[in-house]
Amino acid sequence: MRTTFNSKQIKNKLTPVQILAGGFFVLILLGAILLTLPIATVDRVSTNFIDAFFTSTSAVCVTGLVVVDTGTYWSMFGKTVIITLIEIGGLGFMSVATLFFLLLGKRITLKERMVMQEAMNYFSLQGLVKMARYILIFTFSVQLAGAAILSIQFIPEYGPLKGIGYSLFHSISAFCNAGFDLMGNFTSITKYSGNPLVMITITVLVIVSGLGFFVWTDIYNYKKNRRLTLHSKIVLTMTAILVVGGAILMFIFEYNNPDTIKNVPAGEKILSSVFASVTPRTAGMNSISTDAMTNAGKFLTMILMFIGGSPGSTAGGIKTVTAGVLILTLKSFVKGKEDVEAFGRRINRETVFKAVVIMLISLLLVIVSTLLLSVTESNADFEMIFFEAISAFGTVGLSMGLTPKLSLGGKLIVAIAMYCGRVGPLTVALALGNKKRKGAIRYPEDKILVG
C-alpha cells in the first residue's frame, strides 16, 4: 500500500519550534539564491554561493557580519534584498506572514498561532493576532520616524533620492538590530561619531526595539492597567543597568585611549561611550574602532554581546531576562532563600531551570564555535576568534577585522552560529530533539557532591 504525504500533512507533523527553525532556514536559502544573481552586484558578476549564503544568513539573523562590503559591493537590487531580509528576519517571518494573512482576509489557524506564540515568546495564544497587528504598526511607524530624522543629515549630504534610501536603510537596520550599513569600506558609522543627530537617533532605535514586543504592549497599556508585569520590570531594570553601567565603564576604560576617545571633545566622549554600550546588544554598528579598544573595553563589549537584548525582540544573545533570573537565583542562594524573588513576586522553578539551560547551551555554542574557528583560522589571534564567535552567537555584527578574511570553513561555522543565535539556542535544541513529555517513571532522589 502506497502512502503519500502532502505539504499539509508534513506541516501537521512538525512542532511549532521546528516550523520556526525551518522557516528561518528556508528564508536564508531564498535570500542566498537572489544574492547570487549578477544583478545583485555593482559589477554585475555572480557572487559565489557561500558568500551569498553568509550574507543572507547575517541579514535574516539580523547580525551584520559581512564578508564583502555592503555599501560598495552590492547593487540597488542586492541592497533591497538585504534590507528586506533584515526586516523579515527582525520581525520574524510569522509576523510578516500574519500581515499578508490579514491583508488577504485569510483565517489564521491554531497551528499558525502556536508558531506565532513561539516566535514572539508570548505567554498565551489569546490576543496573538491583535498583538501582531500592533507590533507591525508600531514597527513601521518607529522606522519611518527614525528615517525622517536621519534624512535631515543624509539628504543634504547625499541628495534627495540617495539620502532617503540611506535614511530608510539605516533606520530599519538599527531598529532590527542588524548592524548593516552603507557607508563603505567596512567603516560602519565612525564618520558620524561626533554627530548627535545620527548617534542619538540610532541609539534610541536600538534601545526601543531591544525591549521586546511584549514590553511595548505592556507600556502602551500602562495607563489602563496602572501596572507593569514582572517581565517588563525585569527587562526595563536590566536594560537601564546595562546601558548606564556599560556607558560609565566604557567611558572609564577608553578615556585615555588615543585610538578611540582620548582626543575628542567631552560631548563626543560621552556620546561614543553610550553608543558603545548600547550597540553591542545587539545592533552591531560602531562609532569607534573595535580593534583599537583597550583590552578592558573589548572584554566589556564581549559581555554585552553575550547578554544581548530582551525576549521577543529583534536582538540576540542569552537575553536580559535570562541574565536577570540568573543573578536573582545567585542572590537567593547566597541569602539562603528557597525561592527566587523579584519585585514582590516569586519566579517559578521552570523559568529558573530554563534560564540555566539557555546559559549552558549558549556557552557551549560559543566554546564550540571558538574551538572550530581556532582550527579553520589558525593564523588569526585568539582574541579575534573569540570576539567573532560571541558576535556571531549574539547576532551582533561587530568584528575585529576577521570576518572578511574567513576561510570557507570559517564562514560556515560563523553562519551556523548566527542562525542558532537568532532562532534561539533553546529553540534549536527543541527543534532537533523530541517533543517535551513527562516521564512515566520518577526515580528516587539521591545526593551528589558539587562545587
Q: pLDDT tens for residues 153-185?
A: 999 999 999 999 999 999 999 998 888 999 988
| Distance, CA of 72 to CA of 79 (rounded, Å) | 10
| Residue 124: band (very low, low, confident or very high) from pLDDT cuts 50, 70, 90 | low
Specify the higher pLDDT residue, 123 or 144: 144
Residue 139 has pLDDT above 50, yes or no: yes
pLDDT for 184 equals 86
Under the banding of pLDDT at 50, 70 and 90, the label for residue 94 is: low
Distance of CA 363 to the CA centre of its chain: 17
Name the most confidently modeled range: 118-127, 369-378, 396-405: 369-378
pLDDT of res. 137: 84
Residue 429: which of 417, 420, 438 has the closest Cα? 420
Pick 222 or 271 by higher pLDDT: 271
* 237-260 mean pLDDT: 95
Judge residue 451's burial from the number of C-beta atoms within 10 Å of its C-beta, 0-12 exposed, 13-18 middle, 19 or more buried: exposed
The C-alpha atoms of residue 39 and residue 381 are separated, in whole angstroms, by: 37
Domain spans, the chain = 13-431
Grid cell listed for 29: 536559502
Per-residue pLDDT at 388: 95
| Contact between residue 285 and residue 277 where contact means Cβ atoms under 8 Å apart | no
Beta bridge partners of 346: 341
- Is residue 328 within 8 Å of residue 341, measured between CB atoms? yes
Give the residue, 19 or 166, on which the prediction is more confident: 166
DSSP H helices, 46-159, are 49-60, 70-73, 76-91, 93-104, 110-120, 128-158
**Highest-pLDDT range among 13-22, 349-358, 434-443:** 349-358
pLDDT of residue 102: 56
The DSSP string of 189-207 is: TGGGTT-HHHHHHHHHHHH
pLDDT of residue 28: 93
What pLDDT sits at residue 100?
A: 55
Specify whether the CB–CB gap between 62 and 176 falls below 8 A: yes
| Per-residue pLDDT at 75 | 95
Q: Are strands 345-347 and 340-342 parallel, antiparallel or unpaired?
A: antiparallel
pLDDT the model gives residue 78 = 96
Whether the pLDDT of residue 364 is over 80: the answer is yes
Confidence band of 55 (pLDDT split at 50, 70, 90):
very high
Residue 3 has what pLDDT?
45
Distance CA(87)–CA(93), nearest Å, equals 9
Q: Determine what percent of the chain is predicted with pLDDT higher than 70.
A: 83
Output the pLDDT for position 158: 93
CA angle 143, 88, 204 (to 5 degrees): 30
State residue 448's pLDDT score. 77
pLDDT at 236 over 60: yes
Peptide bond into 282 cis (omega under 30): yes
Burial class (CB in 10 A: 0-12, 13-18, 19+), 31: buried
- Per-residue confidence (pLDDT) for residue 428, from 0 to 100: 62
CB neighbour class for 437 (10 Å; exposed up to 12, middle 13-18, buried from 19): exposed
C-beta of residue 239 within 8 angstroms of C-beta of residue 311: no
Tens digits of residue pLDDT in 32-54: 999 999 999 999 999 999 999 99
8 Å CB contact between 231 and 217: no
Work out the average pLDDT over 221-250: 91
| 3 state SS of 407 | coil
DSSP string of 234-296?
HHHHHHHHHHHHHHHHHHHHHTT-TTTTTTS-HHHHHHHHHHHHHTTTTT---SS-GGGS-HH
Region 424-442 average pLDDT? 60
Give the cell for residue 415.
Answer: 553562519
What rounded mean pLDDT belongs to the chain?
85
- Mean per-residue pLDDT, 318-342: 92
Reduce the secondary structure of 87-102 to three states and give it as a string: HHHHHCHHHHHHHHHH
Between CA 392 and CA 425 the distance in angstroms is 13
CA-to-CA distance for 19 and 414, rounded, in angstroms? 23
Q: Which of 56-65, 184-193, 435-444 has the lowest mean pLDDT?
A: 435-444
Per-residue confidence (pLDDT) for residue 1, from 0 to 100: 42
Residues in the chain: 451
Task: Find how far residue 306's CA is from the centre of its chain.
Answer: 11
* pLDDT score recorded for residue 110: 57
Split at pLDDT 50, 70, 90, the class of 429 is low
- Does 237 have pLDDT greater than 80? yes
* Tally of CB atoms within 10 A around 81: 25
- Position 333 pLDDT exceeds 80: yes
Check: CB of residue 54 under 8 Å from CB of residue 397.
Answer: no
Q: Which residue has the cell 564581549?
A: 302
Q: Please, are residues 315 and 309 in contact by the beta-carbon 8 Å criterion?
A: yes
pLDDT value of residue 123: 55
* Mean pLDDT, rounded, for 198-227: 86
Give this prediction's pTM.
Answer: 0.86
406 touches 379 (CB < 8 A): no
What mean pLDDT comes out for the span 308-334?
Answer: 89
Least confidently predicted of 50-54, 242-246, 351-355, 408-412: 351-355
How much is the pLDDT for 101?
A: 56
DSSP state of 405: G
Q: Which residues contact 147 (CB under 8 A, 6 or more apart)?
A: 164, 167, 168, 170, 171, 172
